[in-house]
Amino acid sequence: MLLYRIEFEVDNGVSYDKDVAVVLANNKQEAHEKLQRLINSIDSETCVSKIFKTTIFSGEVFTGNHGWK
Burial of 47 (0-12, 13-18, 19+ CB in 10 A): middle
Percent above pLDDT 70 for the chain: 93
Q: What is the pLDDT of residue 30?
A: 98
Between CA 35 and CA 41 the distance in angstroms is 10
Percent above pLDDT 90 for the chain: 81
Give the mean model confidence (pLDDT) for residues 36-47.
Answer: 92
Give the mean model confidence (pLDDT) for residues 9-16.
Answer: 95
